[in-house]
Amino acid sequence: MTDYNHEHKADRIGWIRAVVLGANDGIVSTASLVVGVASANIATDNLLLIGAAGLVAGAMSMAAGEYVSVSSQTDIEQAELALEMSHIEENWAEEEQELATIYHHRGLDKNLAAQVAKQLMAADAIGSHARDELGITDLAQGQPLQAALFSALSFSVGALLPLLGIVLFSDVMLIPGVGVISLLALVVLGMVSAHVGGASKRKGAARVVFWGALAMVVSTGVGHLFGMGF
């Protein structure tokens, strides 16, 4: 008997997005901050404090941003559902026909589409319209507190890695050391997130490494400019 694995990854989208975005931002923003400030010839003793301040500020910003963003999305979804419910209560036959038209456009013949719409409306009218007309599903609905928590925690963990480079490396090796640690962390992050989401590990790693490296190079260049007195 064939072992048929039919596991989907869609139920993981919400928290994967929050974790990957938070960790990636933590690594890239903190590493860019550290190498940029270090390139401006700021005393190494101050870098850890600057990096720690960036970690706290970034984590709080990520949490607040995710909470507001997902809450706004949820508010819009709830408003749409309330409006749709009023349409159903006032125009049941028209809403049933609307569903039938949607199913017909998806490939069912008109009679079958009408039967499906009638049965689904009878079983769960608002759920049918939410899913098939508005595109709102349980998987798509946001959870603001969960998104905020995952983003803040993952940002903090990601930001700790560049800060580790400040502790491990001397003045001369600090910038390349932080860069290497950060890029390796981005490789791991990209591969793990791609694996959890069932996507290509190579592409996942390449994306985050490219943008992370670009951010650090630009920050280093800006730091050098300011360090030269511009």
Q: How high is the pLDDT of residue 31?
A: 92
Whether 25 and 72 share a structural domain? yes
Q: How high is the pLDDT of residue 79?
A: 87
Whether 74 and 151 share a structural domain? yes
Q: What is the mean pLDDT of residues 154-162?
A: 93
pTM of the full predicted structure? 0.72
**Contact, 188 vs 175, CB < 8 A?**
no
Whether 216 and 151 share a structural domain? yes
Tokens representing residue 122 in the block: 């009878």
**Contact, 165 vs 178, CB < 8 A?**
yes
Q: What is the mean pLDDT of residues 132-136?
A: 79
**Contact, 158 vs 181, CB < 8 A?**
no
Q: How far apart are CA 81 and CA 75, in angstroms?
A: 10
Q: How high is the pLDDT of residue 133?
A: 80
**Average pLDDT along the chain:** 83
Whether 109 and 149 share a structural domain? no
* Angle, CA 115 vertex, CA 109 and CA 118 arms, to 5°: 135
pLDDT at 4 over 50: no
Q: How far apart are CA 209 and CA 173, in angstroms?
A: 20
Whether 101 and 191 share a structural domain? no
Query: Roughly what angle, to the nearest 10 degrees, separates helices 44-90 and 92-105?
Result: 120
Residue 142 vs residue 189, higher pLDDT: 189
The domain tally of the chain equals 2
Q: Which domain does 119 fall in, by range? A: 87-132
Whether 118 and 200 share a structural domain? no
pLDDT at 34 over 80: yes
Banded model confidence at residue 142, pLDDT cuts 50, 70, 90: low
Q: How far apart are CA 198 and CA 175, in angstroms?
A: 34
Banded model confidence at residue 7, pLDDT cuts 50, 70, 90: low
Whether 104 and 164 share a structural domain? no
Q: Find where tokens 């930001």 sit.
A: 159
pLDDT digit string, tens, across residues 67-112: 898 888 888 888 888 888 898 888 888 888 888 998 888 888 889 9
Q: What burial class does residue 86 get, using C-beta atoms within 10 Å of its C-beta: 0-12 exposed, 13-18 middle, 19+ buried?
A: exposed
Q: How high is the pLDDT of residue 121?
A: 84
